[in-house]
Amino acid sequence: MCLFRNKNLIKYTLTIYGMRCGMCESHINDVIRKNFDVKKVKSNHFKNETIILSKNELSEEKIKSVIASTGYELKEIRKEIN
């Protein structure tokens, strides 16, 4: 399934270390949904990656803060505008 097929969305790809299982992925997804108005969020612990699709720009500082509060380690944020 292609997450980035929707037009006019901003794609954030986060590199996050510390996720070990599906529950870790759910924890990250839930905290993102709770703190941001996003269209879609999907995490993959095998790739150490979370992909967020949003109609609006997200504060990278807030993303860093939210991920830090979970205990996982955010290494990188990449942003693409479709």
1 pLDDT more than 50:
no
Q: What is the pLDDT of residue 5?
A: 57
Question: What domains are there in the chain, each with its CATH number?
Answer: 10-81 (3.30.70.100)
Yes or no: say if 82 and 6 are a contact pair by the CB < 8 Å rule: yes
Task: Determine the distance from the C-alpha atom of residue 4 to the mean position of all C-alpha atoms in its chain, rounded to a whole number.
Answer: 13
> Each residue of 14-64: pLDDT tens digit?
999 999 999 999 999 999 999 999 999 999 999 999 999 999 999 999 999
66 pLDDT more than 60:
yes
Q: Tokens 């996720």 identify what position? A: 19
| Of residues 25, 31, 20, the one with CA closest to residue 68 | 31
Which of 42-46, 63-67, 68-72, 78-82 has the least mean pLDDT?
78-82
Q: What is the pLDDT of residue 2?
A: 53
